[in-house]
Amino acid sequence: MKKVYFYIFVFALALGLGVLSGSAELRGQEAKPGNAGAKAGSPGSASQPSEKSGHAYSGMYTFLKEGEFVQVTVEDTGHLTGFVSRFGDGESDKGAFLDQFFKSAKLEGSQLSFTTEIVHGVSFDFKGTVERGEGKNPGDEAYFVLKGTLTENASDVNKKVTSHSREVVFKMFPQDAAPAAVERK
């Protein structure tokens, strides 16, 4: 579990440095109290992004192993971006932390799909849905889950591609799992 917090810290640091500025701007908008007379927490306010627009689906989800995750960001235009952060399994990258950005991704209603870039001969395809999970309130662990089929495509030195598909459920990380911002004086 300590590894998960480390990666969350690294991700939060990247946000703070502006590496993922689109996501940081979205989160900054969500944190503002009320919008043009809207009550905080009311449907359509910035603090409660609507499921209809898909913004509520933005966040970090578990991946295949502990310490690995999928970052999904739904932008204002409805465009979907993100990446998979995972540990390498090959001889040359065993245990190394690898980031695989989405090459293509789509969100239509609750239907979500993405294909990652190839890194060290491996790419992933996901086709499934975003569903309500067992979390009771927004911000709880598993409030949303990505449920569907993940296909791992691996190519060998002879460029022969082997595909392995499996049914998966990726749970959204709790919102308070990220390190709290430190107030500077």
The per-residue pLDDT string of the chain (185 residues; one tens digit each, 9 = 90 and over) reads: 445 445 454 454 444 434 444 443 344 444 333 334 333 333 333 344 556 668 899 999 999 999 999 999 998 877 899 999 999 887 778 878 999 999 999 999 999 999 999 999 999 999 999 999 999 999 999 999 999 999 999 998 888 999 999 999 999 999 875 544 445 55
Show the tokens assigned to 138.
């927004």
Measured CA to CA in angstroms, residue 86 lies from 5, 53, 93 at distances of 14, 28, 11
Does residue 3 belong to any structural domain of this protein?
no
Q: Domain for residue 26, yes or no?
A: no
Q: Which domain holds residue 155?
A: 50-176
Residue 31, domain member (yes or no): no
Number of continuous H segments (helices) and E segments (strands) in the chain: 2, 8
Give the 3-state secondary structure percentages of the chain, helix then strand then coil, rounded to 5. 15, 40, 45
82: left (phi over 0), alpha (psi -120 to 50) or beta: left
Can you list the alpha helix ranges (DSSP code H) found in the chain? Answer: 2-16, 21-31
- Nearest one of 87, 44, 78 to 58, comparing CA atoms: 78
Residue 151 maps to a domain: yes
Q: What is the pTM of this model?
A: 0.68
CATH assignment at residue 99: 2.40.128.30
Looking at the domain assignment, is residue 165 inside a domain? yes
Number of domains the chain contains:
1
How high is the pLDDT of residue 54?
83
Closest alpha carbon to 89 in 161, 154, 10, 5 = 154
- Kind of pairing, strands 122-132 and 144-155? antiparallel
Q: Give domain status of residue 7, yes or no.
A: no
**107 falls within a domain:** yes
Query: Two tokens at 54?
Result: 């898909």
Chain centroid to Cα 34, Å, comes to 25
Q: Which amino acid is at 12?
A: A
**Residue 19, C-beta contacts closer than 8 angstroms, at least 6 positions apart:** none
The confidence score (pLDDT) of residue 92 equals 77
Does a structural domain hold residue 127?
yes
